[in-house]
Structure 1
Amino acid sequence: MKKKLFMGIGVCTLAFGLVACGGDDKAEEEVAAPEESENVEQEMGPDIDTESIPDVIATVNGEDINKEIYVGNLEQGAMQLQMQGIDIESEEGLAELEVMKEQLLDRIINSTLITQAANEEGVEATEEEIDKGITELIAQIGLESEEQLQELLDEQGVSTDELRADVAETVKSEKYLDQNIEVSDISEEDLQAAYDELVEMVEAEGEGKETPEIPSFEDYREQLEYQMQMEQEQEQVGKLIETLRADSEITTHI
């Protein structure tokens, strides 16, 4: 049983943008005074100098990657740091941003490589699969209907065709990964061994303290199996991306 772990970077950016302009903003307005919201925007601005970011942040096998995807995700990351109470103008905040920038660029390049590979192999996305992807997106950003999604798309200046194209790329990329990686079933012995190791670790860390309650193997089995499958899948995706990178021409501009 495979678990989805890939989400197209374009759809991620779109989801972030829709959440930002949807219910979350209204909630923030109710909690924070206008002056406070303005201060948050001013604090974020100096640390993310979007003007100095080139229009093309990278070229992957001749395909230019525009800055909008990078900037959208970077701004979302900075907002999340602030929500965690990290001052992005502090030494810690600036260090976190630098790490985020590097990881984000790698993620965008990796996403592009997978999409390119899917297209090269002729992977297609059916209309039904795209419809399902949009339904999942609606649930992810907390909407109740396609009508609400359309309202947010209109606010963002995103057409339905653009949304469907982004979701189609994500569907094709996920299908490509399904075809090129193989996640084996986790044996009962491996599950039990992993559970026993976890119990030992929790007990060792809690020595001399009040030991937290540990769920039984049967209660924790499904979650443990999911985690081990995800680890296995992530490892294989990582190896696949390494191969794609080795066979590709990649130039970064930031």
Structure 2
Amino acid sequence: MKKFVIGLLVCLFMIVLVACGDDEKKEKEVEEAAGPKLEITDEEKIDDNEIVAIINGDDVKGTTYNLVYSQLKLHAGQFDKDIDVEEIKNATMDSIIDRQLLIQQAKEEGIEITDETANSEFDTLKSENGDALSTLLEQYQLTESGFKEQLKFELTMNEFVEKAIKVSVTDQELEDYYDQAKEGNEAIPEFDEIKEQLKAQLLQQKTEEELQAKIDKVKEKAEIEKKI
């Protein structure tokens, strides 16, 4: 499920973290967090109204494809100068299928984020972060409507995780996790110093694994038709 979250969510957190700074500092730090700006050509984009996939009868259009594609490509550009466009395209299709399946599962749980909620969240971010948010949109080549769509999805995902995913971590698992980390880094602090940090990391890892497992399970019976 990491492919849902990469890039934009990190930058949203970055905006919040630097909210106490001045506007110029926020803008600079958000730009650095987003990484190098990469161009996305018109040939890489899909028409916003083109249907790219039909999942259990629900149409997924080019707007969602372009949103996910831009995040995946820009994220990949932070780690690899030689970007495989075909690989990004395939990952984008996988991601939008998983996104739609998650949205459908969330609806079955009674979770549906309204446009009004997404708009309100966006307005709050915009009022608190000014130019930093504009920098984020430019860096990811996102429109305000695209950003709101991502917000809507992430709010849906967060509520679904809170309601449907239950994971826990034992002390033994934490100690094993620490030992594994220590094998590659002898300079790591003592266990008691970072126990809570390790617990948060392991809970997040387990949550992502459980969430992906749920999506993979419903995908086995889903009716999926790729149109591109």
Fold in common (TM above 0.5) = yes
Q: Matched residue of 1:145: which SS?
A: helix
**Residues 6 and 174, structure 1, Cα contact 8 Å, conserved in 2:** no
Superposed displacement of residue 245, structure 1: 1.1
Matches within 5 A, 1:1-254: 23=27, 41=39, 45=41, 48-50=43-45, 55-84=50-79, 86-87=81-82, 93-94=83-84, 97-125=85-113, 133-134=121-122, 138=125, 145=128, 158=144, 163=148, 167-184=151-168, 186-199=169-182, 201-202=183-184, 212-254=186-228
Letter of the 2:160 counterpart:
Y
Q: Matched residue of 2:111: which SS?
A: coil
**Residues 58 and 253, structure 1, Cα contact 8 Å, conserved in 2:** yes
Larger deviation: 64-73 or 122-131? 122-131
> What fraction of aligned residue pairs are identical, expressed as a percent?
22
Superposed displacement of residue 150, structure 1: 9.3
Residue 206 of structure 1 is matched in structure 2 by none
Structure 2 distance, partners of 1:218, 1:71, is 45
Query: Could you list the per-position Cα deviations for residues 86-145 of structure 1 after superposition, in whole angstroms to 9, with x for gaps in the alignment?
Result: 14xxxxx32xx333222221111111111122223322558997588548x83xxxx662
Query: Could you list the per-position Cα deviations for residues 180-238 of structure 1 after superposition, in whole angstroms to 9, with x for gaps in the alignment?
Result: 22112x22222123222332x22xxxxxxxx7522111122122112211221122112
Q: Matched residue of 1:177: which SS?
A: helix
Q: TM-score, normalised by structure 2?
A: 0.65
Q: TM-score, normalised by structure 1?
A: 0.59
Q: For the structure 1 residues 84 and 197, does the alpha-carbon distance in structure 2 shift closer, same or farther, using more than 3 Å as the test?
A: closer
Q: Matched residue of 2:167: which SS?
A: coil
Q: Matched residue of 1:179: which SS?
A: helix
Letter of the 1:183 counterpart:
V
Superposed displacement of residue 64, structure 1: 1.1
Q: For the structure 1 residues 80 and 177, does the alpha-carbon distance in structure 2 shift closer, same or farther, using more than 3 Å as the test?
A: closer
Gaps of 5+ in 1: 16-21, 29-36, 88-92, 203-210
Decide which structure has the larger Cα Rg and report it. Answer: 1
How many corresponding residue pairs?
205
Over the aligned positions, Cα root-mean-square deviation in angstroms equals 4.7
Query: Could you list the per-position Cα deviations for residues 140-170 of structure 1 after superposition, in whole angstroms to 9, with x for gaps in the alignment?
Result: xxx66276699899xx7646xx93x764554
Larger deviation: 225-234 or 98-107? 98-107
